[in-house]
């Protein structure tokens, strides 16, 4: 039996590993390790193993791609709520956390960029679901509740397609993926929503628009002078990379931090204004992919579907339809979950993977992630929280998907943005669980 430990709040945590095929189509081939951490809440843990053994399981699938499971110091929010009635299994999706890793060092061992791209094709939602099934079998669990946040919801849709017989219920927050169509329509929707979110923020903080314009002007002037601005990691801060700060606008819990960041943008040295180290350090932290390189490299691959054209840097292409987001615009708007070539090329941890990302963007023969027939006859109790103004997972596309999953109950709200489970996850999970009760 795996050994367990107690957090300071009395939560019991237990480590679980499973060995799985790299390629589930070739089960006798290369193997990798997948890790998951079990959480038993303080009240349940205090009642002993007999009580714990009788609790049903909930598998949590994190956002991403490339996002590892949560590492809470103590249970709070949705986890504390769920732990009253479930044992929680927090999966480190393959390539993340303590599972066999994906990063520039490990990928360098896989050969050419084309060979690396081929390797990465084994790290999509279908493989993640097969890994979860291997863990379920190893733990002797007949079935469990699956809860997916953001990209984890995409994986949950794949789970409903591949192994619904082992699901007690399916829960989604900000995570209903488009089931058909090219990646382009995702960005056509999300650019429009990001435009509205920019307008909303700058209406509340007009001084932020002025401050951002000053930073843009400063960056352009330095380029014209042949002395571009560099972040503290040595990489160039371009206008396009600065626009990535728009990721902050995607959530209630962090949106106003943009205001605090911009108010400290400049420092005056010798009577001249320059970008402060405080600002450069924080911008560098926010736009760096050092902690999650696969988010950028694999991002558009999550939309790759059979019969559709290559994603081919869809976010960058679709941006041409929204000139207000151009880095050359007079007052450029901030972007969101849009990855451009430049974002990969200039990030120190991503630059070695640019050719790999480019090869992945050229893939045209993706394997299916969803079984539309199975989803249309779904019998697993399912409920989804859809955020009306979500700038990452579009509301209209989410409702389109919901309409193709039989029995899926939709809880739509405008009270939260994409990070609703971090804002008031307990109430959201209570509502989703209520909707899936027999």
pLDDT of 2 reads: 84
* Closest by CA position to 228, among listed 264, 274, 194: 274
Domain range 4-179+370-435, CATH architecture: 3-Layer(aba) Sandwich (3.40)
| H-run or E-run covering 375 | helix 372-376
Give the model's pLDDT for residue 48.
Answer: 87
- pLDDT given for residue 1 in this prediction: 65
Structure token pair of residue 379: 């019998």
Q: In which residue ranges of the chain is CATH 3.40.50.1820 found? A: 4-179+370-435
DSSP string for 28-52 = TS-EEEEEEEEEE-HHHHHT-HHHH
Instruction: Provide the pLDDT for residue 51.
Output: 87
Q: Which of 304, 298, 300, 422 is nearest to 356 (CA)?
A: 298
Instruction: Tell me how far CA of residue 373 lies from CA of 102, 179, 378, 406, in angstroms.
Output: 33, 12, 9, 10
Query: What's residue 336's pLDDT?
Result: 93
Q: Which residues have CB under 8 Å from 111's CB, separation 6+?
A: none
Residues catalogued as catalytic: 150, 365, 418
pTM of the model: 0.96
Which pLDDT score is estimated for 376?
A: 98
The DSSP annotation for 152-203 comes to HHHHHHHHHHH-GGGEEEEEEES-----SS-THHHHHHHHHHHHHHHHHHHH
Splitting the chain (438 residues) into consecutive groups of 10 residues, what average pLDDT does each group show?
Answer: 88 97 98 98 90 94 95 95 96 97 94 98 98 98 98 98 98 98 97 97 97 98 98 98 96 89 94 94 97 95 96 97 98 97 97 98 97 98 98 98 98 95 96 94
The pLDDT score that the predictor gives to residue 254 is: 84
């Amino acid at each position: 039996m795996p050994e367990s430990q107690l957090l300071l709040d009395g939560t019991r945590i237990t480590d679980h590993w499973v060995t799985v095929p790299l390629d589930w189509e070739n089960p006798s081939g290369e193997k990798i390790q997948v890790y998951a951490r079990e959480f038993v809440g303080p009240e349940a843990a205090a009642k002993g193993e007999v009580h714990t053994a009788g609790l049903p399981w909930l598998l949590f699938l994190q956002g991403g791609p490339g996002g590892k499971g949560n590492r809470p110091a103590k249970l709070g929010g949705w986890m504390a709520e769920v732990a009253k009635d479930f044992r929680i299994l927090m999966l480190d999706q393959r390539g993340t956390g303590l599972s066999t890793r994906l990063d520039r060092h490990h990928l360098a061992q896989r050969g050419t960029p084309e060979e690396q791209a081929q390797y990465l094709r084994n790290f999509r939602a279908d493989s993640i679901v097969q890994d979860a099934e291997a863990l379920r079998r190893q733990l002797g669990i007949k079935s469990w509740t699956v809860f997916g946040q953001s990209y984890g919801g995409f994986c949950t849709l794949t789970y409903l397609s591949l192994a619904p017989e082992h699901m007690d219920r399916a829960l989604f927050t900000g995570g209903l993926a488009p089931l058909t169509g090219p990646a382009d329509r995702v960005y056509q929707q999300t650019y429009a929503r990001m435009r509205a979110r920019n307008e909303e923020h700058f209406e509340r903080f007009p001084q932020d628009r002025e401050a951002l314009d000053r930073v843009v002007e400063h960056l352009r002037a330095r380029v014209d002078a042949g002395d571009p601005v560099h972040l503290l990691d040595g990489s160039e801060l371009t206008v396009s990379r600065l626009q990535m700060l728009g990721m902050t606008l995607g959530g209630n819990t962090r949106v106003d931090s943009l205001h605090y960041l911009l108010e400290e943008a400049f420092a005056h040295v010798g009577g001249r204004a320059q970008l402060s180290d405080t600002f450069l350090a924080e911008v560098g932290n926010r736009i760096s992919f050092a902690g999650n390189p696969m988010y950028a490299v694999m991002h558009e691959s999550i939309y790759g579907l059979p019969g559709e054209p290559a994603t081919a840097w869809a976010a960058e292409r679709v941006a041409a339809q929204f000139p207000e987001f151009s880095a050359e615009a007079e007052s450029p708007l901030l972007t969101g979950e849009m990855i451009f070539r430049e974002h990969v090329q200039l990030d120190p941890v991503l630059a070695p993977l640019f050719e790999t990302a480019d090869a992945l963007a050229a893939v045209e023969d993706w394997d299916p992630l969803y079984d539309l027939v199975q989803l249309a006859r779904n019998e697993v109790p399912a409920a989804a929280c859809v955020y009306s103004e979500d700038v990452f997972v579009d509301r209209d596309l989410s409702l389109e998907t919901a309409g193709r999953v039989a029995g899926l109950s939709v809880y739509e709200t405008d009270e939260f943005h994409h990070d609703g489970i971090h804002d008031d996850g307990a109430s959201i999970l209570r509502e989703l669980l209520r909707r899936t009760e027999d």
